[in-house]
Amino acid sequence: MAANSASPRQGQRGGQPILEMRGITKRFPGVVALDGVSFDVRAGEVHALVGENGAGKSTLMKILGGAYAPDEGTLLLDGRPVSFSHPWEAQRQGISIIYQEFNLLPYRTVAENIFLGREPLRRGLVDYGRLHRDTAHLLARLGVEQWIEPDTLVKDLPVAHQQMVEIAKALSFSSKVLVMDEPTAALTDREVDLLMGLVRQLRDEGLAIVYISHRFKEIFAIADRITVLKDGRKVGTVDASEVTPDDLIRMMIGRPLDAFYPEYARPEDIGSPLLELAGAGNDVLDDINLTVRAGEIVGVAGLQGSGRTELLRAIFGIQPFTRGTMRVRGQEVRVRSPLEAVRLRMGFLTENRKEEGLALLQPVRDNTLLVHRALRPLLARADGVLSVAQLTGRVDLRAAGLHQEVQYLSGGNQQKVVLAKWLAVDADVLLFSDPTRGIDVNAKAGIHRLIRSLARSGKAILMASSDLPEVIGMSDRILVMWDGRIYGELPAGATEAEIMALATGQRKGGRSA
Amino acid sequence: MVRRVPPIFVVLLAICVWISLLNPRFATVPGFMSFLMRAAPAAILAAGQLFVIVAGGFDLSVGSLITLVVLGSSMLIDGDPANTAWVIAVMFLIGIAVGVFNGAVTSWLKVPSFITTLGMLVTLKGFALLWTGGAPRGFLPNNFRVFGRNRLTGVPLLDEVPYAVIILLVVAVVATYLLHRTGWGKQLIALGDNPRAARLSGVPTAKVRILAFVASATSAVIAGILLGGFSGVSTNVGDGQELGAISAAVLGGAKLLGGRGTMPGAIAGALTLQALFTLLNLLGWPKPLRDGLQGVIIIGAVAYTAWRERRS
């Protein structure tokens, strides 16, 4: 296993970093994902990495793991510069990464997964006896042998135990550095405690652990140091014992609004409620109560896994609510499929425009008319009474023509086609999820103006977004979600700190009036 | 949708010119009409198949459905021409039922259409052979066979036009209208292009897909009636027809797995295949070699399409 045997913890403060990243820069077309970031982790330390979505955490992790090569900067392992041309090399040199999505084969056993591609051989055949023994030994070392048998199929294990298999696999490579990405995202509270215990044990054995998480409770429970990233830059590295959650929130945010946002709704814009939920829930959401009125934009903020996008998907009938009531324009309704939502003149737009919004090989015209056609008799003439040019004009579409295939449009214009599709059927309850993700700044402002003008024209808009400035800049009211519930409501112009306090489960309720 | 002349029309024209050089009779009105008559069943089948292909599926069951139509009709008519009308009606009902079944299993039980219709191919053929005891039995009366082998006479300019060609023309016009001019056709293409986006746009995906299989099965019934008329009762009349139909659609520019395809293209693809076989026959290629070529053609056409998509 790890070369360093149970090194005492007291040596860590002054200890040499096992892994050090110096001045790492990584550019993608149009974005600087990481800008001169330095980061190190020592043996026997848990170093937490925090930051908002898009701060650069996953890029940093992928560079660590050899999935990306940095454009600038150096990586030092035990003081020696290294470069990985393949994730496999990083692993061989002692860096193991446990991604949120496990890389396990569900229909293979625990032992087969751990030693995949490195099975012990005897006369050219797999030596199952040794495979079993080595795995049992590894599991015992982790202290999980009472839950996990080497010969169990991975698919039959609960998620928490699958994660332990990943950890065992990492240890089998004699890892010195273990990177864990949101390891508790899918775990129950008890499983989280179990994992925390395991992480502490590994730390005490001298492993260097990089712990990426949104959850402050865990971070403060386990981390020795915390590094905060924001917009691809390092804000700072602090000792966990010397900061409060509020300090951390301030470090994570505190940037100016990076775009110009249109005005909020005026009182005279607001009309009657178009969408109302009372006590609604399903297997990931619980006790959802909300009202969206004509003319207003209601923002939904929340970290990944808070139920933000699941809320919109439930309303639109993709993963329908199983309890509670829903009213559209005052009428009680049940929406069990997208078709039913569409019939109620609800519209849906997500950041996944290519997967969920558009038929990419089809021209602008056919995409714009798709919902309209879906609502008419099947054999009705394809081009009805609608003027597509008028619709695309309303969303200010810039395309070579209505016959241009939408795959060739820019991201912003693709989103405009999706919007035009809903305008074609006069949808007036619009559900947006990260409407401007992956769109350049200018186009973003254009979409924001468009969304506001739609609200002005009397539509009720529920907009979930991972981009806090966007939520703040656009929303007339902000709902903050955490753990599948609406944790609080804030008025227009709330601060990022107020939102983050609710979104990380620090406080509950709204702004004290 | 057809902005520029698709390459298949150029290929078709070139092969036709070549045939005419070897056999000048081909370039006459009666010669060309005979060609169209022979090509009609395959072209109709390709038109039907295209509905399923643009939606992202396959219908492999059409060949066996043709066999069932030919064998079943001779059994039910039982030598009495008075039975022809209702037997044809029954055949269409069987076709619709097969299409609904294929579409429903694919949509609701989430069985890939490749498997659903492969199962149907085997089942229908087995059923047809069980019904007739494994050998062609009976015969088809003249009033059944007229569609496949007779000609309408006294047509101005053209003199004689085979009924099969008239039926092909009607099918071509109706199919083109359905695919390219109705909301159903557009939804079908959108479904094949991006099923998830189509569903989230409110497209009733099951209904839309089931109708595509019904269209394909209906085309097989029509093709079966024509083939029964043209060549009489045989147990292998439908063998391999599904592959011909898929090849034709692909040659005509359809994208396997859906989202792209034109009706004129698919029909031109079928005519091209027929013309190619005519040409190779004239050039003296033996039949097994000609049949074997079809496999090469479909692989080549798909590889060519994939290569072109990669380049753009």
- pLDDT tens-digit series, residues B30-48: 999 999 999 999 999 999 9
Which of these, A45, A365, A83, lies nearest to A211 by C-alpha position?
Answer: A45
The per-residue pLDDT for B2 is 43
pLDDT cut 90: percent of chain B above it: 79
Query: What would the mean pLDDT of B68-90 be, rounded to a whole number?
Result: 94
| CB-nearest partner of A358 from B180, B197, B260 | B197
A220-257 burial by CB neighbour count: b if 16+ within 10 A, else e?
bebbbbbbbbbbbebbeebebeebeeeebbbbbbeeee
* Encoded amino acid at A299, one letter: G
CA-CA distance, A356 to A415, in Å (whole number)?
11
Among the residue ranges A420-434, A446-460, B133-147, the one predicted with the least confidence is B133-147
Name the residue in chain B with its Cα closest to that of A427: B201
Q: Given CB atoms, is A186 within the 8 Å cutoff of chain B?
A: no
> Rounded CA gap, A109 and A309, in Å?
34
Q: Which residues have a Cβ under 8 Å from the Cβ of B63 and sit 6 or more positions away?
A: B121, B220, B238, B239, B240, B241, B242, B243
Give the best residue of A343, A365, A370, A432 to mutate against chain B (max B CB count within 10 A).
A370
Asked if pLDDT for residue A14 goes beyond 50, the answer is no
Q: Do residues B69 and B129 touch, judged by C-beta distance below 8 A?
A: no
Above 50 in pLDDT, residue A481? yes
The domain spanning residue B265 has which CATH number? Answer: 1.10.3470
A420–B contact, CB cutoff 8 A: no
Average pLDDT over residues A238-242: 91
Task: Answer whether residue A276 shows pLDDT above 90.
Answer: yes
* C-alpha distances in Å from residue A240, one per residue of A52, A90, A209: 18, 28, 15
Q: What is the ipTM of this complex?
A: 0.89
Q: In this predicted model, what pLDDT tens digit does every residue of A380-405 receive, in sequence order?
A: 888 766 788 999 998 888 888 898 99
Q: Is residue B72 part of a domain?
A: yes
At A9 the pLDDT is: 43
pLDDT for res A1: 39
Q: Give the model's pLDDT for residue A367.
A: 95
Please report whether residue B30 resides in a domain.
no
Whether B292 is covered by a domain: the verdict is yes
Mean pLDDT calculated for residue range B104-125:
95
pLDDT of residue A251: 82
Q: Are the Cβ atoms of B259 and A359 closer than 8 angstroms? A: yes
Calpha distance B175→B173 (Å, rounded): 6
Kindly determine whether residue B203 and residue A370, on different chains, have CB atoms separated by under 8 Å: yes
In this predicted structure, the answer to whether residue A257 has a pLDDT above a threshold of 60 is no
> Is pLDDT of A188 > 80?
no
Measured between beta carbons, which residues in chain B are less than 8 angstroms from residue A357?
197, 200
CATH 3.40.50.150 holds for A19-94+175-252? no
Structure tokens given for A484: 């599948």
Place A441 in a pLDDT band, splitting at 50, 70 and 90.
Answer: low
Q: What is the pLDDT of residue A30?
A: 58
Which own/partner pairs from A10-13 qualify as long-range (CB within 8 Å, at least 24 positions apart)? A11/A44, A12/A42, A12/A43, A12/A44, A12/A45, A12/A224
pLDDT of residue A308: 92
- Rounded CA separation A7/A461 (Å): 56
A211 CB within 8 Å of a chain B CB: no
The predicted structure's pLDDT at residue B124:
96
pLDDT value at residue B166: 96
Contact A327, A273 (CB under 8 A): yes
How much is the pLDDT for B1? 44
Q: Which residue has the higher pLDDT, B226 or A230?
A: B226
Contact state of B202 with A338 under an 8 Å Cβ cutoff = yes
Fold of A256-345+428-443+455-513: Rossmann fold (3.40.50)
Q: How confident is the model at residue A429 (pLDDT cuts 50, 70, 90)?
A: very high
Task: Kindly state the tokens that stand for A454.
Answer: 């739609």
Nearest CA in chain A to B259: A361
Mean pLDDT of chain B: 93
Q: Which of A151-160, A440-449, A454-463 has the highest mean pLDDT?
A: A454-463
The whole-number average pLDDT for the span B125-145 is 90
* CA B19/CA B276 separation, integer angstroms: 9
Share of chain A above pLDDT 70, in %: 92
Q: What's the confidence (pLDDT) of residue A497?
A: 87
Q: What is the pLDDT of residue A173?
A: 86
Q: Are A219 and A226 in contact (CB under 8 A)?
A: yes
Four-residue CA torsion sign, A179, A185, A189, A190: negative
Domain count, chain B: 1
Domain range for B254 is 37-305
Identify the pLDDT of residue B134: 83
Instruction: Assign 3-class secondary structure to B142-189.
Output: HHHHHHHHCEEEEECCCEEEEHHHHHHHHHHHHHHHHHHHEHHHHHHH
Confidence of residue A301 (pLDDT cuts 50, 70, 90): very high
**Average confidence score pLDDT of chain A:** 87
Cα–Cα–Cα angle for A276, B201, A431, rounded to 5 degrees:
30
- Encoding tokens for residue A94? 């002692």
pLDDT at A385: 66
- Position A53 scores a pLDDT of 66
Residue range A271-281: mean pLDDT, rounded: 96
Whether A223 and chain B come into contact, CB under 8 Å, resolves to no
- CA atoms within 13 Å, Cβ hemisphere of B54: 33
Q: How confident is the model at residue A511 (pLDDT cuts 50, 70, 90)?
A: low
Which of A281-295, B64-78, B128-142, B201-215 shows the lowest mean pLDDT across its residues? B128-142
Percentage of residues in chain B having pLDDT higher than 70: 98
Show the CA angle centred on residue B235, arms to residues B229 and B237, nearest 5°: 50
Residues A148-173: what's their mean pLDDT? 89
Q: Is the pLDDT of residue A146 over 50?
A: yes
Tell me if B189 and A356 make a contact (CB, 8 A cut-off): no
pLDDT band at B103 (very low <50, low <70, confident <90, very high): very high
- What burial letters (b/e) apply to B275-301, b meaning 16+ CB within 10 Å? bbbbbbeeeeeeeeebeebbeebbeeb
State residue B49's pLDDT score: 98
pLDDT at B227: 96
Note whether residue B4 is domain-resident. Answer: no
Domain regions of chain A by residue span: 19-94+175-252, 98-174, 256-345+428-443+455-513, 353-426
pLDDT-based confidence at A510, cuts 50/70/90? low
Nearest to A382 among B3, B185, B260 (CB): B185
Tokens 């009762």 label which residue?
B233
Residue B197 falls within a domain, yes or no? yes
> A12 or A79, which is more confident?
A79
CB contact under 8 A, A362 and B211: no
Chain A interface mutation, best of B2, B201, B256, highest count of A Cβ atoms under 10 Å: B201
Chain A contacts of B202, Cβ < 8 Å? 338-339, 341-343, 371, 374-375
